[in-house]
Amino acid sequence: MTPTSTTRPSSTADVSRPGRPGPRRRRDDGGQALIRSGRTSTSSTQLARQLVTTLPQAVAKLDPRHVWHSPVMFVVWVGSVVTTVQAIADPSWFAWTLSIWLWATVLFANMAEAVAEGRGKAQAATLRATRRTSTAERRLPDGSLETVAASDLTIGDVVVVRPHQVVPGDGDVIEGMATVDESAITGESAPVIRESGGDRSAVTGGTTVLSDGITVRITTKPGETFIDRMIALVEGASRQKTPNEIALTILLTVLTIIFLLAVMAMQPMAVYSGQAQSPIVLVALLVCLIPTTIGALLSAIGIAGMDRLVQHNVLAMSGRAVEAAGDVSTLLLDKTGTITYGNRRATGLLAAPGLGNDEVTRAAYVSSLADETPEGRSIVELAAAALDTPTREALDRLPRDGATFVAFTASTRMSGADLPDGTAYRKGAADSVARWVSSHGGEMPSGVLTEVDGIASSGGTPLAVAVQEPGRSPRVLGVIHLKDVVKPGMKERFAQLRAMGIKTVMITGDNPLTATSIAAEAGVDDFLAEATPEDKMALIKQEQLGGRLVAMTGDGTNDAPALAQSDVGVAMNTGTMAAKEAANMVDLDSDPTKLIDIVSIGKQLLITRGALTTFSIANDIAKYFAIIPAMFVILFPGLDALNIMGLASPQSAIVSAVIFNALIIIALIPLSLKGVRYRAAGSTALLRRNLLVYGLGGIVAPFIGIKLIDLIVSHLPL
> What are the residue numbers of the active site?
334
**Between the CA atoms of 66, 68, 69 and 73, what dihedral angle is there, to the nearest 10 degrees?**
100
- The answer to whether 413 is annotated as binding is yes
- The answer to whether 415 is annotated as binding is yes
- The answer to whether 469 is annotated as binding is no
By CB neighbour count within 10 A (0-12 exposed, 13-18 middle, 19+ buried), where does 146 fall?
exposed
What whole-number distance in Å separates Cα of residue 58 and Cα of residue 116?
12
- The answer to whether 5 is annotated as binding is no
- The answer to whether 375 is annotated as binding is yes
- The answer to whether 1 is annotated as binding is no
- The answer to whether 580 is annotated as binding is no
- The answer to whether 594 is annotated as binding is no
What whole-number distance in Å separates Cα of residue 599 and Cα of residue 498?
12
- The answer to whether 494 is annotated as binding is no
> β-pairing, 171-181 with 192-195?
antiparallel
What whole-number distance in Å separates Cα of residue 159 and Cα of residue 174?
10
What whole-number distance in Å separates Cα of residue 609 and Cα of residue 678?
12
- The answer to whether 412 is annotated as binding is yes
Element (H, E) at 198: none
Cα dist. 166→156, 158, 211, 219, 230 in Å? 18, 15, 12, 16, 18
Give the other-Cβ count within 10 Å of 648's Cβ.
16
Give the other-Cβ count within 10 Å of 268's Cβ.
10
2-31 as b/e: b if 16+ CB within 10 A = eebeebebeeeebbbbeebbeebebeeeee
- The answer to whether 427 is annotated as binding is yes
Instruction: Judge whether 156 and 201 are in contact, CB under 8 Å.
Output: no
What whole-number distance in Å separates Cα of residue 343 and Cα of residue 524?
20
Which residues is 350 bridged to in the sheet? 3, 479
514-539 as b/e: b if 16+ CB within 10 A = bbebbbebbbbeebbbebeeeebeeb
- The answer to whether 146 is annotated as binding is no
- What is the edge-to-edge ordering of all strands in the sheet holding 526-528? 314-316, 585-587, 568-572, 550-554, 330-334, 503-507, 526-528
Binding residues for Mg(2+): 555, 559
Binding residues: 371, 375, 408-415, 427, 555, 559
Binding residues for ATP: 371, 375, 408-415, 427
